[in-house]
């Protein structure tokens, strides 16, 4: 056989194999949608995550998420919803046997100001007031965890003084929330170098100083991958102060499998350590439309297949 003809036949044959493997690798949408088996871990969806498959109504999206195996929800903007809507969302989740993840203490809006790192008493008073309001919000939507971001660096103050100011505010917040069984989870972020709270060891030290079950770490794995890397070892070091996890692959901050992080191994590690909290899906979707939402579900099925 001439070399050219042999190469053509080989390429055609290999192309057929690849095409066939692609067909069998792709999960039919019906199979994905009919699988109501709960995931091994409680991954929490966000409003809008299933808007194409379930429609624009958040409660319809919650019901849909339950039908494909998800058992938790988180909503950063819950405090901005009217009380009747908060109750409606909480009641819908309770009927489905789903759990509520974090909402954000919105005492400061993005982009953040100096807030709790400085000496301005007005910021601390505002934070305290929002902690009190968050108690009522949590009761309506059956939440336990409340995200707190202390704010930006106060460039006029040394780091130690800023840390002390944050600790003082967190202690007051913990005193408000602890009697209700609520937990502030402080989130170190990677969005901008202006942010005061950026690392897990820094957050760990603050939690130890506050010394309350109502003040823990929100370990967002996307942000920690960007700021620190070494995710599994990092979470092990901070484990006794971690109250909540959030998910996002890096780069891109999309669903597991779209970046460099091995979420299958990470989820297995979290599961085997006996974690009983929630993992928030605080990320975007790699593909648009219904196709993207189906791919999102499949990505979690793949990453959750660790047993």
- Shared domain for 21 and 36, answered yes or no, is no
- Does residue 12 have a pLDDT over 70? no
- Shared domain for 137 and 162, answered yes or no, is yes
- Is residue 259 within 8 Å of residue 251, measured between CB atoms? yes
Q: What pLDDT score does 112 carry?
A: 83
* CATH number, domain containing residue 242: 3.20.20.150
* Region for residue 141 given its phi and psi (left: phi exceeds 0; alpha: psi -120 to 50; beta: otherwise): alpha
- Shared domain for 62 and 174, answered yes or no, is yes
Residue-wise pLDDT for 146-158, tens only, equals 999 999 999 999 9
Residue-wise pLDDT for 169-186, tens only, equals 999 999 999 999 999 999
Structure tokens at 42: 């409680």
Structural domain containing residue 80: 30-303
Q: What pLDDT score does 183 carry?
A: 98
- Shared domain for 13 and 107, answered yes or no, is no
Centre a 10 Å sphere on the Cβ of residue 252 and count the other Cβ atoms it contains: 14
Confidence band of 28 (pLDDT split at 50, 70, 90): confident
Residue-wise pLDDT for 243-299, tens only, equals 999 999 999 999 999 999 999 999 999 999 999 999 999 999 999 999 999 999 999
- Does residue 1 have a pLDDT over 70? no
Residue-wise pLDDT for 92-137, tens only, equals 999 999 999 999 999 998 788 889 999 999 999 999 999 999 999 9
- Shared domain for 5 and 146, answered yes or no, is no
- Shared domain for 54 and 94, answered yes or no, is yes
- Is residue 144 within 8 Å of residue 178, measured between CB atoms? no
- Shared domain for 154 and 273, answered yes or no, is yes
* Region for residue 285 given its phi and psi (left: phi exceeds 0; alpha: psi -120 to 50; beta: otherwise): beta
In this prediction, residues 60-76 reach a mean pLDDT of 98
What is the torsion angle, in degrees rounded to the nearest 10, for the CA atoms of residue 21, residue 24, residue 25 and residue 29? 150
Confidence band of 160 (pLDDT split at 50, 70, 90): very high
Peptide bond into 105 cis (omega under 30): no
Q: What pLDDT score does 19 carry?
A: 36
Residue-wise pLDDT for 184-195, tens only, equals 999 999 999 999
Query: What DSSP assignment string belongs to the chain?
Result: --HHHHHHHHHHHHHHHHHHHHHHHSPPHHHHHH--PPPSS-EEE-TTTTHHHH-S-HHHHHHHHHHTT--EE--TTGGGS-HHHHHHHHHHHHHHT-EE--EE--SSPSSP-SGGGSS-HHHHHHHHHHHHHHHHHHHHHT--EEEE---B--TTS-HHHHHHHHHHHHHHHHHHHGGGT-EEEE----S-TTBS---HHHHHHHHHHH--TTEEEEEEHHHHHHHT--HHHHHHHHGGGEEEEE---TTTS-STTSSS--HHHHHHHHHHTT--S-EE--S--SS-HHHHHHHHHHHHHHHT---
- Shared domain for 36 and 24, answered yes or no, is no
- Shared domain for 57 and 109, answered yes or no, is yes
Q: What pLDDT score does 27 carry?
A: 74
Q: What pLDDT score does 110 carry?
A: 78
Q: What pLDDT score does 18 carry?
A: 33
Residue-wise pLDDT for 255-265, tens only, equals 999 999 999 99
- Shared domain for 98 and 244, answered yes or no, is yes
- Is residue 151 within 8 Å of residue 115, measured between CB atoms? yes
Q: What pLDDT score does 6 carry?
A: 30
Q: What pLDDT score does 42 carry?
A: 98
Q: What pLDDT score does 109 carry?
A: 84
Q: What pLDDT score does 105 carry?
A: 97
In this prediction, residues 211-233 reach a mean pLDDT of 98
- Shared domain for 135 and 209, answered yes or no, is yes
Q: What pLDDT score does 25 carry?
A: 43
Phi, psi of 217, rounded to the nearest 5 degrees: -100, 135
- Shared domain for 2 and 37, answered yes or no, is no
- Does residue 33 have a pLDDT over 80? yes
pTM: 0.91
Domain count, the chain: 2
């Amino acid at each position: 056989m001439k070399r050219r003809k042999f190469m053509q036949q080989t390429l055609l044959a290999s192309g057929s194999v690849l095409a066939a493997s692609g067909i069998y690798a792709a999960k039919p949408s019906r199979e994905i949608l009919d699988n109501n088996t709960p995931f091994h871990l409680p991954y929490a969806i966000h409003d809008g995550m299933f808007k194409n498959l379930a429609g624009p109504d958040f409660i319809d999206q919650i019901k849909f998420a339950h039908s494909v195996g998800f058992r938790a929800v988180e909503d950063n903007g819950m405090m901005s919803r009217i009380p009747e809507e908060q109750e409606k969302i909480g009641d819908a989740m309770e009927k489905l046997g789903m759990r509520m993840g974090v909402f954000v203490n919105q005492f400061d809006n993005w982009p953040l100001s100096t807030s709790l790192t400085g000496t301005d008493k007005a910021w601390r008073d505002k934070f305290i007031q929002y902690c009190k309001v968050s108690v009522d919000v949590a009761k309506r939507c059956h939440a336990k965890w409340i995200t707190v971001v202390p704010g930006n660096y106060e460039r006029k103050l040394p780091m130690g003084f800023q840390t002390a100011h944050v600790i003082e505010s967190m202690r007051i917040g913990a005193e408000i929330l602890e009697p209700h069984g609520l937990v502030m989870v402080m989130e170190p972020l990677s969005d901008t170098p202006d942010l005061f709270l950026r690392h897990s060891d820094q957050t760990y030290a603050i939690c130890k100083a506050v010394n309350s079950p109502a003040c823990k770490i929100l370990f967002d794995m996307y942000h920690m991958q960007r700021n620190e890397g070494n995710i599994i070892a990092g979470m092990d070091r901070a484990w006794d102060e971690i109250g909540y996890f959030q998910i996002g692959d890096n780069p891109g901050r999309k669903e597991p499998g779209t970046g460099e992080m091995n979420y299958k191994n990470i989820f297995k590690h979290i599961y085997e350590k006996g974690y009983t909290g929630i993992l928030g899906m605080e990320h975007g979707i790699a593909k648009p439309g219904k196709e993207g939402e189906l791919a999102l579900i499949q990505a979690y099925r793949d990453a959750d297949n660790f047993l």
